[in-house]
Amino acid sequence: MQLEAQELLDISRAMEASLAPDDADDSPGEASPPPLSSSSSSEEEEKEHAPVWSTLTADVRMSAFEVPSGKQHEARRAQSPLSFLQLFLPIELMQQIAEHTTAYAHTRGAAADWQTSASELYAFIGVHIFMGICPLPQWHMYWSEEFQQPFVAAAFRRDRFEQLLRFFHVAPPHDAAAAHDPFSRVRPLIRSLQQSFARMYSPTQPLTVDECIVGFKGRHEAKQYIKSKPTRWGYKVWCLANDGYLLAFQVYEGKEEVRSAEGQAHRVVVELTRPYHGGPHIVYLDNYFTSPDVLDALQRRGMRGCGTVQRRRREMPQIDAAAIDALQRGEYISRQRGDLSLVVWRDRRPVWVLSNHCSPKETASLERSGAAGAMVAVPCPRAVRDCNFHRGEVDRVDQLHAGYLIGRKSKKSWPRLAWWLLDMCILNAFKLWAIGQQGARQLDFRIQLMHALVEVLQTDQQAMQTSRGAHVSVALAKDHYSIHVDDERDCLVCSQRPARRVHTRYACAKCRAHLCIGSCFARYHVHNA
C-alpha cells in the first residue's frame, strides 16, 4: 500500500512537471519550489489511497504452514518426568536458588552453619506437589498424629520444612533495584523461564494471546481486579500459549511511565509474538487485544490474526444496528478491507469477529443447543469457528494449574507469583512428556515427579544428613530431655484428648514444650522428629 501510494504521488508530480511552461525553469530570480513531501503529507495521502471497507468479498491467500513443531533441543532427549522438569529448573538454577535461600536465612538470624542445597530444594518442591494432590488447610497437619502423611514426614522433619518455608528465596536477598522493581524478588526466575519456555517447544500454527490472574489478596502495587475472571484478585499475567503449553508471558507491573503510541494491547501482542515473526502463524485474541491496527501489524510481520472485537474500535466499519437486529440465528453480515474482514454473526446475541487469515465467504458450523435441548449444527463463518476453537488455550493452562495448586499461603507478596512460575514449569514439563502418549494424565505425571524429586535428596547423603539432622535416638538423648520449669502449663499431648487437661511443670529443654514425663514426652517427639 505504501509503495502504491508513493507511485501514484510520483506520477502526479511528473504530470505537473510536464504541463508547466517551458520558461518556468529558465526564469532567473524565482524561488525554488517547496519540498513536495513530508511525513504528515505522506501519511495523509496514504490514508486517502488506502482500501476502504466494502460489502464485496475476496479470497484471502495465506502461506502454508511448514514449520516443524514439537519438542526441541534437550527436550528431544528427555525421557523421565524429572528430566523434563530439569529442562526448566536445571541443577545450576536450583543451586543458585539454594545460595539465595542460605543467604537470606543468615540475614534472618539462622545459625552460621545453616545451609541448603539443590537436592533438598528439589525434594521441597516434590513435597509441595504432594500437598497439591492431598491438600490440608494447615501445613503442620501433615506431621500431626491424626492427619500424618508418611510421604511428607519421611522426606522432612517438621522444623526443617518450616525453616525452608520461611527462608525460601529465588533471588538475592539484597537487591539494589528492589526499591524500583516491584518484582525484584522473582525477577531472576522470570528471566530464566522466559528463555527456556520458548526454547524447548516449537508451536503449531495457532497461537493464543490472553491474560490470566495469579491469585493474591495481599498488598501490592501491581495487584489487579478483573471481574470476569474466576480468580478476581491477584497479579495479571499476559500469556502466549499453544496446545496447553505456555510459550511466553509478561507480568503486568503497573501503569506504564512512558506509554507507547499504539497502545498497551498492541505492544503486548507484538512483544509476545516476536520470536515467531515471519512464520505463517495465526494469533487468536480476545476483544481487549483485537483491533484493525493490531491485525495489520501482525500481517506486516508475516503473521495473521483472528479474534472477537469491540464494535467501537478505531477504523471499524459502520454497520446499521437495525440490520444486525434483523439477523436470525446463523446469519451474518460481513465487510472486507484488503485481507482484513469483519463478520457480525448472530448466535444468541451478535458476535463481532475480526480476522485476516480467511475470507468472510468461507463458512463452517458450530454445535449449539436447539429448542428441544438437542445439539444442532448452526452455520457460521470460518473465522467464528476458528476463534471459538483456538481462543481458549490460555484458559486451558489456567485450568490445569487450578487442578493441583502448589505453594502455601504467605503474608509476603512475592511467594504466590514464584510458586505460580514453578507450577508453570511443571505444566510445561507435563505437556512435553505427554507428546506421543495416548491418554496421558497430569495426575500420573505429578505422582511420578514427586517421587523422583524426593529420591534426588535421598541419593545425596550430605544433603540428606543436613535435612534430617542427627538420628532420632541421638537427638533425643543429646538435645531433647525433660527439665523442671517455674510456670505450669497444659501438657501438649494430654490436652489434645477430649475432656482431659493435665498441667505439668516439666518441659523439653530443646522444644520448650510442656510435656508429662514418660509416654507424653516420647509420643510428642516421635511424631515431631
**Distance between CA atoms of residues 2 and 49, nearest Å:** 9
Percentage of the chain lying above the pLDDT 90 cut? 49
User: Higher confidence at residue 225 or residue 248?
Assistant: 248
3-state SS track over 283-316 = EEECCCCCCHHHHHHHHHCCCEEEEECCCCCCCC
pLDDT above 70 coverage of the chain, percent: 84
How much is the average pLDDT of 159-175? 89
Structure confidence at residue 474 (pLDDT):
41
Q: In this structure, what is the dihedral angle of CA atoms 467, 469, 471, 474, given to the nearest 10 degrees? A: -170
* Lowest-pLDDT range of 2-16, 286-300, 423-437: 2-16
Considering only residues 181 and 508, tell me which one the structure prediction assigns the higher pLDDT: 508
Average pLDDT, the chain: 84
Which pLDDT value is given to residue 23?
43
Higher confidence at residue 469 or residue 416?
A: 416
First to last CA, the chain: 75
Confidence band of 66 (pLDDT split at 50, 70, 90): confident
Please indicate whether residue 261 or residue 316 has the higher confidence score (pLDDT). 316
Query: What confidence tier does 10 reach under pLDDT thresholds 50, 70, 90?
Result: low
Distance CA 388, CA 207 (A): 13
List, for residues 83-135, the tens digit of each pLDDT value: 999 999 999 999 999 999 999 999 988 888 899 999 999 999 999 999 999 99
CA distances, 256 to each of 90, 222, 252, 293, 526 (Å): 33, 11, 9, 20, 55
CA distance 80 to 72: 16
The model's confidence at residue 475, banded by pLDDT at 50, 70 and 90, is: very low
User: Has residue 495 got a pLDDT over 70?
Assistant: yes
Residue 529 has pLDDT above 60, yes or no: no
CA distance 194 to 247: 8
Tell me the mean pLDDT in the region 157-183.
82
Q: What is the pLDDT of residue 240?
A: 95
Burial 449-470 (b: 16+ CB within 10 A, else e): bbebbbebbeebeebbebbbee
Contact 312, 361 (CB under 8 A): no
User: How confident is the model over 24-41, as pLDDT tens digits?
Assistant: 344 334 344 444 444 445
pLDDT at 34: 44
Residue 228 scores a pLDDT above 90: no
Q: What does the pLDDT read at residue 204?
A: 93
The 8-class DSSP code of residue 108 comes to T
Domain ranges of the chain: 75-178+405-468, 472-527
Higher pLDDT, 346 or 499: 346
> What are the tens digits of pLDDT across the range 301-334?
999 999 999 988 888 988 889 999 999 988 999 9
How much is the pLDDT for 397?
A: 92
Cα–Cα distance, 116 to 104 (Å, whole number):
11
Taking 90 as the threshold, does the pLDDT of residue 503 lie above it?
A: no
